[in-house]
Chain A
Amino acid sequence: MNKIACLVIITLFATSPAWAGEPVAASISTLIENSSAFDHREFTIEGEFIGEMLLNGPDGCWLNISENGVPIGVFCNNLLKNDVEKLLGGNGRRTGDILTIAGTLQRICPLHGGELDFHAETISVLKQSCELPESISLLDFRALAWIFIAAIVIIVRSLTHRNTESIE
């Protein structure tokens, strides 16, 4: 009977995400703020891929992932590189792919000069990149038109003012 109880308890512990070492979802800001407590632990983070994929010599590449304006550098080894190359990063004209990344937090990464970074193990795309809306409102055009007219009037007046001065 005792053996069965022990087996049940061990099974429960092993299947519990927190104890089985299964990555726990966490926000990037929580990880950065509590990096000492979460060092070397596995987490799942979610965020927008920002900018470009950056090469890191022959070892792999870097992605920068931002969640609510808080970014972190994610290192991807060569096994993930092919998947990463297809991703689109956010910039002034579009939002980046929204990614879910499972991996390990490194408070002082020994491989990358002591940087606080996140080493990815799996990457999946939650939402595809899309163009940022460029909705030019009527107000933008009206403002510009009025200002343009006023500017012409002032330039003309300024030039005539200067001519009058030089004649004097």
Chain B
Amino acid sequence: MYLKPDRGDLATIFHFLGRITLLLSVLVFLSAGVSLIAGEHLSALRIATGGIEILMVGLCLNMLFKEAESLSLPGSMAFVAVVWIWAMLLIGWVYWLTGHFASYTDACFDAISGFTTTGLALIQDVDHASEGLQFLRHLITFVGGQGIVTLFLAILAKSSPMYFQMYSGEGKDERLWPNVLHTSRVIRKISLVYLSAGTLALSLSLYHIGFTPWRAFFDGLYLFASSWSTGGFAPHTQNLLYYHSPLIELITMAIFVVGSLNFLIHYHNFTGNLREMLKNTEVRFFVFSSALLAVCASFACFNAGIYPSLETAFKKVFYQIYSAHTTTGTMTIYSRQFINDWPVSATLAIIAAMAIGGSACSTAGGIKGIRMAQIGKGVWLEIKKTLLPASALATVRFHHGQTRLLTPQVFYKASMIGILFIALYAITTFAGVLAGYPLLDSFFEGVSAASNSGLSCGITCTSMPWGLKVVYIFAMWLGRLEFLAAFILLGYIVIWAVGK
């Protein structure tokens, strides 16, 4: 018999939702302030209106519901799953007020795409969007990269055992420190250090190619937030193509590769332990798989006569493969070129890179490198067992923070998440085909949404069917949470309804 969620649990969930709502209202007010400084009075007014409404909702929730001393494990998980949908609905409302979205669904799509650092966009006329809206979209991506709950813990929470349950529910099951609050704060500090350095490098580069200091700073900030969070948004319709600058491409590539690494690696690098990065199984897997896919796709494009020289093929394809593998989604080619120009083998390499994704406990999505490595090592263990004499003890190790034996439990968990991701990729692909798109296009866009990559072959636009938008919204949400928290929320609702 399952335990029915008690009233204390529900009250605590709503109370925490209220606190997160207040945090979100601060982000909205910051954006309204940016609009005001930029002299966009109408935009500032509309964003501020949304901010006040969010503030009111947050205050109401805080007033009506009291925080209990503890929250059960399913309650914590359900809270994490609800937070992302709740944040989408609220920020979607602010987006909708700005008048840059064709419908509230489009606004919610763009909001969840930002929070989950996917980068598929449904904003209309982004080139004429106000500074405040641009700021909010990229701020949301930056916050989403760290995790909404992680940020909440770092800023608002006090120490309590229930916070680790929330933290792990957000797809981060590693603690850099025994205390999860300390871990959240370390993640925030790491992000802020990179934010300063990355924004400075990008702003100077943009100034060098002719941007005004104001524009250089804001575009630099947006590009950093988008690259570091492996988000993929850009303040222009052309994405990275707008800048026509190999230097900007190089800097963003360096930022998203670093951003896709596990926060554990960053922590070790900050404390001077560079050996961890060299020994880490996940990093090794990423280096191997990204290089293999990039070389194969480059040769495929060159052999098909798409690019006149191997050097040009490498330049274009490497950026796209790394953008896909880190699940960033910034683009240096036009969307339709993936389908119209590139050979199918190269497009499939991009899809494979998106499906695998970046590192666990990072801003990236997808199955994750460590799980792929664990599954691969598990298969090797089975082969080893067969080849060795019956009396011999076959073992396989992997290094992640420390060298560990691959246990059946670890293999089972990695395989389970891997299978769930493959099922999600299949569902999103099928939904695309059902909506009338060709199989390859549907496969590309479906994997991109579910792995939170954000590369598009042209399906994602305001005229796409409403049902497909909803499927992608759920795919982005499930992919970001890595299923468990979302499934527990579902179970929680069912148990609540059944009453057992």
A residues near B (Cβ < 8 Å) are 32-33, 35-36, 50-56, 61-62, 64, 66, 69-71, 73, 75, 90-93, 95, 107-108, 110, 112-117, 132, 134-136, 140, 143-144, 147-148, 150-151, 154-155, 157-158, 161
Contacts and interface: CB of A to CB of B under 8 A. Distances in A.
Interface string B411-434: 000000000000000000000000
A54 B125 CA distance: 20
B3 interface: no
Given A56-B244, A113-B246, A93 B53 contact: no
B322 to A, nearest CB: 16
Contact of A136 (B42, B53, B62, B241): B42
Interface string B117-143: 000000011011111011000000000
A135 B238 contact: no
Interface string B286-325: 0000000000000000000011100011011000000000
Given A73-B238, A114-B307, A150-B56, A52 B215 contact: yes
The 3 A-B residue pairs with the shortest CB-CB distance, nearest first, are A114-B312, A55-B210, A92-B130
Interface residues of B, number: 56
A134 B130 CA distance: 11
Contacts, number: 132
Interface string B127-167: 11111011000000000000000000000000000000000
Contacts of B53: 147
A135 B242 contact: no
Given A71-B238, A140-B49, A95 B340 contact: no
B393 interface: no
B210 A148 contact: no
Contact of B236 (A64, A75, A112): A64
A151 B334 contact: no
B59 A155 contact: yes
A95 B127 CA distance: 10
B244 A32 contact: no
Contacts of B39: 93
A143 B209 CA distance: 43
Given A36-B340, A50-B236, A154 B63 contact: yes
A45 to B, nearest CB: 15
Most interface-central of A52, A70, A144 (chain B CB within 10 A): A52
A55 B207 CA distance: 10
A92 B48 CA distance: 17
B41 interface: yes
B41 A136 contact: yes
Contact of B308 (A61, A108, A144, A155): A108
Nearest to B244: A62
Contact of B52 (A61, A134, A148, A157): A148
B380 interface: no
5 contacts: A53-B210, A69-B237, A116-B337, A132-B128, A154-B56
B63 A115 contact: no
A91 B307 contact: no
A90 B39 CA distance: 16
Contacts of A134: 40-42
A22 to B, nearest CB: 27
A5 B40 CA distance: 66
A112 to B, nearest CB: 7
Contacts of B341: 35-36, 107
Nearest to B337: A116
Interface string B22-44: 00000000000000001111110
Contacts of B59: 151, 154-155, 158
Contact of A112 (B128, B244, B308): B244
B185 interface: no
B177 interface: no
B329 to A, nearest CB: 18
B466 interface: no
B46 interface: yes
Nearest to B53: A147
Given A108-B307, A116-B334, A154-B63, A91 B56 contact: no
Interface in B241-273: 241-246
Nearest to B245: A54
B471 interface: no
A92 B40 contact: yes
B333 interface: yes
Contact of A158 (B63, B125, B215): B63
Contacts of A51: 127, 236, 242
Contacts of B306: 108
Contacts of A73: 238, 241-242, 244
